[in-house]
Amino acid sequence: MSEQVKVGISDYKISESPNQLVTIGLGSCIGIALHEPVTKAGALIHIMLPESTGFKDTTKWEKFADLAIPKVVDELKKKTGKKKIVAKIAGGSSMFSFNNKNDTMQIGKRNTLAVEKALKDLGIPILGDHTGGKMGRSMFVDLETFEVTVRMVNRELHIL
């Protein structure tokens, strides 16, 4: 019997097939789905910010891409005993319009770039993504097939 495992904002969960990992409310935040194909175990991280630099308190490390991704990847590798991990990502929207084109105000874009860099630095390929735009998303990860479904208002997209 499969279970739907919910991941909150600045949170992560690790589970295995046949379970499904779910996160809702991805605006400028990014959902990072990680999967180990042999054991069919995986993780879903819901990050809020690209980096922890400049923050004195990083005890809630799950909110930062630069801290959360390496820690969760390490935990998933220890759990599975495997080294091959793949990823799919969604989110990173620009939910609000700013007259200023300064990239520091574009948190969704900065989140996307930080997640891509962290995964690249760890040698983890991104097999699918649905990032950018101006819409919020929810993300559903099937750990059996690693099919990721991204839902938006009045629209659904499967990332294969």
Count CA within 13 A, CB hemisphere, residue 25: 10
Gap between the terminal Cα atoms of the chain: 24
Helix axes 65-80, 107-121, angle to 10 degrees: 40
Residues 5, 29, 87, 119: which is the catalytic one? 29
The question of whether 126 is a catalytic residue gets the answer no
Torsion of CA 128, 11, 40, 127, to 10 degrees: 10
Residues acting as catalytic residues: 29
